[in-house]
């Protein structure tokens, strides 16, 4: 079987950071590709919304 390098098989990470907006805590999520490229960003007021 061939070793296929395809975006579908790439590893992704979803690190979360706590940020403050108008004095309230929010969660900043970033979808990151295998080599650190940021694919998408999401800000939520609750961690498990």
Write the CB contacts of 10 (distance below 8 Å, at least 6 apart in sequence): 33, 34
Mean pLDDT of the chain: 77
- Residue 21's pLDDT is what? 93
| Confidence band for 4, pLDDT divided at 50, 70 and 90 | very low
Q: Sort strands 24-32 and 38-44 into parallel, antiparallel or unpaired.
A: antiparallel
- Residue 37's pLDDT is what? 84
Mean of pLDDT values over 22-43? 87
- Residue 49's pLDDT is what? 62
């Amino acid at each position: 079987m061939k070793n296929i390098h395809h975006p579908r098989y790439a590893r992704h990470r979803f690190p979360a950071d706590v940020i403050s907006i108008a004095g309230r805590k929010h969660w900043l999520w970033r979808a990151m590709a295998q080599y650190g490229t940021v694919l998408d960003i999401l800000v939520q007021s609750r961690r498990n919304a």
